[in-house]
Structure 1
Amino acid sequence: MDHAVVSRDAWLEARKALLLKEKALTRQRDAVNAERLALPWVRLDKDYQFDTESGRKSIGALFDGRSQLLVVHFMLGPDWDAGCPGCSFGADHMDGTLPHLNNHDVTLVAVSRAPLEKILAYKRRMGWKFPWVSSFGSDFNYDFHVSFTPEQLASGEIEYNFTKLPSDRGNDELPGLSSFYRDADGTIYHTYSQYARGGEETLGTMMFLDVAPLGRNEGSTMDFVRRHDEYEDKPKASSCCHS
């Protein structure tokens, strides 16, 4: 291990200096959150339909009687055999938060373009309980720029994370999260969407790793992540640690 080892007093001095930056980051996060809440809303005019475990439902029905809806755009395409490992990693954090969100007038739902039977099969494999519905045959994924048609991919660029990106990677599904509000008369508004690393703070595992001695210990973003039933039984010691 190649790391500085110092006295307790020297460590405390360095820790206090870092604490000032952490506090500044917290205040900045609070300010950004306030700006997010102040964003204008867009009225949703399409009546999107979804296949659910209890039948065909409109987007309004997905609110389940609450005023707020969070949609996790989960990467599972119609011809995929399993969900995206990164999205699956994120989904592992969802079940525990459901009672708290529901009590706070928020419904959390995952949406994928795969047919419902494929979604439910993978959900059973992973042991998840959160609501997960299919947008198969709907414009929903395309309108929120998380799925892309063959024509869009062939054009050379796609719109993702509010910018134009080259489509040469061939990804027809990408991750994201979108927020919606439903008022008393049933009018629905799109209030917010985030993509790419925008939802990283919802990943509790990452937040724990950030304070672990070796941090995320990754070569590229989330390169260590596997579906939770695909890890080896015994983790290998990192090559940068003492045996």
Structure 2
Amino acid sequence: MEPQHRIGTREEWLAASKALLVEEKAYTRAGDELARKRRALPWVKVEKTYVFETPQGPRTLADLFGGRSQLIVYHFMFGPDWEEGCFGCSFVSDHMDGILTHLEHHDVSYVAVSRGPFAKIEAFKKRMGWKFPWVSSNESDFNFDYHVSFTSDEIASKKGFYNFTEQDVGIDELPGHSVFYKDAAGNVYHTYSTYGRGGEQFLGAYAHLDVTPKGREEKKNMGEWLKHHDRYEEKVSGCAACSS
């Protein structure tokens, strides 16, 4: 269905765009201030030793920094009994390979972490064609301590702690991002976490959709349209003129 919208003159468009620009600049400045407040949060020293299964064998959280001082962990929904990763987490992950080198040259390492067995993770990663690091936390409490995995009792009682509040989580895995810092002495600190819609700040595809006339076209959530990128019925190859 074609969107119904008011049609105006170029002069009307320019006037409305200038008025909108004032609000867009205020939004940008508010985002800058939020980023400053994130960086000002108190740090919490990580006292527990977490061990992950990686392509190089068992590695600790400190090892995942890879010689850098900052680490972004993406809590990817892929439970021990799951056969494939979450399609929403896959959408997030589709954004990563292209920017990874830029992060790494800015003293930031990135790794996805899931409770799924490492062999399943590797198989799904190969299927999706991703290159970013992805490790298994299946033998540690990492996912539970950072409140993205939930026990059967928490699900049954509807009392899982997620997004900084107790709630009905309804599932054994949920997504999030956590950030860590490692000092020169090797001490690791938890500096920031975000969950739920907080993850939208990492989605460049949403930023593009939000400037289009139809927007996201979501009544409730991304599940209304989103699929694993290899499961869309029609493969989109680009403009016809470029391929002719």
Q: Deviations over 1:71-97 (max 9, x none)?
A: 000000011111000000000001011
2:194 paired residue number: 194
Distance (whole Å) between structure 1 residues aligned to residue 174 and residue 202 of structure 2: 17
Larger CA deviation: 156-165 vs 172-181? 156-165
SS of the residue corresponding to residue 130 of structure 2 reads coil
Distance 1:215 1:149, change over 3 A: same
For 1:21, which of 13, 23, 31 is the aligned residue? 23
> Secondary structure of 2:99's partner?
helix
Spell out structure 1 runs of 4+ moving beyond 6 A. none
Q: What residue is the counterpart of 1:240 in the other structure?
A: none
Identical counterparts, % of pairs: 57
Note closer, same or farther for the CA distance 1:229–1:135 as it changes in structure 2 (3 Å cut). same
Structure 1 equivalent of residue 240 of structure 2: none
Alignment match, 2:58: 56
- Give TM-score, length-normalised by structure 2: 0.93
Task: Tell me the residue number matched to 2:86.
Answer: 84
CA distance in 2, matches of 1:143, 1:47: 12
- Pairwise mapping of residues 58-137 of structure 1 onto structure 2 (< 5 A)? 58-137=60-139
2:41 paired with 1:34: no
Offset, 1:155: 2.2
Please report how far the alpha carbon of residue 234 of structure 1 lies from its aligned counterpart in structure 2 after TM superposition: 5.7
Aligned equivalents of 1:130, 1:87: Cα separation in 2: 14
How many angstroms does 1:166 deviate by? 1.9
Q: What is the TM-score when the length of structure 1 is the normalising length?
A: 0.94
Q: State the SS of the aligned residue for 1:153.
A: helix
Query: For residues 184 and 149 of structure 1, what CA distance do their matches in structure 2 show?
Result: 36
Structure 2 counterpart of 1:178: 178
CA distance in structure 1 between the aligned counterparts of 2:12 and 2:73, rounded to whole angstroms: 47
Of the three residues 159, 162, 166, the one matched with 1:160 is 162
Q: How much does 1:201 deviate?
A: 1.7
Question: What does the per-residue CA deviation read over 1:184-207, in whole Å, with 9 as the maximum and x for residues that have no partner?
Answer: 111000000000010212111110
- CA RMSD, aligned part only? 1.0
2:17 maps to 1:7: no
The alpha-carbon deviation at position 219 of structure 1 amounts to: 2.1
The residue aligned with 1:206 is 206
Letter in 1 for 2:208: F
Rounded to whole Å, the distance in 2 between the matches of 1:21 and 1:78 is: 46
| Deviation per residue, 1:29-78 (Å, 9 max, x gap) | 00111111111100000110000011000111000111011000000001
> Structure 1 CA distance, aligned partners of 2:92 and 2:226?
10
What is aligned with 1:231? 232
Q: Partner of 2:241 in structure 1?
A: none
Q: Secondary structure at the match of 2:98?
A: helix
Instruction: Tell me how many residue pairs correspond in the alignment.
Output: 233
Matched residue SS, 1:141 = helix
